[in-house]
Amino acid sequence: MGEISRQEKKRSFSKRMILSALLILVAIPLTIYIGWNISERQFYITSLLIIVYTMIPFFLVFEKRKPQAKELVVIAVMCAIAVVSRAAFIWLPHFKPMTAIIIITGVALGAEAGFLTGAMTGFVSNFIFGQGPWTPWQMFAFGIAGFLAGLCYRCGILKKKRVSLCVFGGVCVMLIVGPLLDTCSLFFASSEVTKESALAIYATGLPVNAVHAVATIVTLALFSGPLLEKLDRVKMKYGMMEE
């Protein structure tokens, strides 16, 4: 019976992850692309659609039971911490500790919760930094960091160790989050996308991404241990996010 139960959970996980991947990697980029081409001024609608897409796989975690308020509160708290961590360094351009908080959330609470935290953090924090056509791109980029962190941890690729988390955070920012944000800048700043304009934008973005990566690595090195320990203790005490 135990083996059958584990196999059922594995199948359920696979179906949910397939849906999550389709929504996050296909539906959200397609929505951003369509919204961008229809009108740059429709970024609020695009942002809200991204939030809706994100909530679907997240709530599928609770397909066999109702979500508990304390589980949603933990997500809200992690979003708040991420927003505050970005706002606290508004005086230091491109230094964004928030990505580290999003990665920690993905590792501790799962890929879906990680993406939701990243997307919500990008949306909410831009009420401080300024909403615009770039908001959906930022929501997607930050959300991907949380989703990949949760997925890699679930697959055993990422460990709850400082070095592993720091390496993942630095690589994720330099190769995924940063280039996604640079792609937004490319479409936003260039009337016509050419090889030369793309190279110029991505080259200009390298120092910016490097600062962002340093912020992520430093934050993970200093706070990943205490935060993960606290989140694990809360999960164990209240039986949260169990599938």
| Each residue's pLDDT tens digit, 104-148 | 999 998 888 899 899 999 999 988 888 888 888 899 999 999 999
Give how far the C-alpha of residue 81 lies from the chain's centroid of Cα atoms, to the nearest Å. 14
Q: What is the pLDDT of residue 65?
A: 57
Residues in the chain, pLDDT under 50: 1-12
Q: What is the pLDDT of residue 152?
A: 93
User: H-type helices in 155-194, by residue range?
Assistant: 162-172, 178-189
pTM value is 0.84
Q: What is the pLDDT of residue 134?
A: 84
Separation of alpha carbons 167 and 162, rounded Å: 9
Separation of alpha carbons 133 and 121, rounded Å: 16
73 within 8 A of 131, measured Cβ to Cβ = no
Tell me the angle at which helices 98-109 and 69-88 cross, rounded to the nearest 10 degrees.
160
Q: What CATH number is given for 2-238 in this structure?
A: 1.10.1760.20
Q: What is the pLDDT of residue 195?
A: 82
233 within 8 A of 194, measured Cβ to Cβ = no
120 within 8 A of 239, measured Cβ to Cβ = no
The one-letter amino acid code at 54 reads: T
Give how far the C-alpha of residue 113 lies from the chain's centroid of Cα atoms, to the nearest Å. 9
205 within 8 A of 181, measured Cβ to Cβ = yes
Q: What is the pLDDT of residue 228?
A: 94
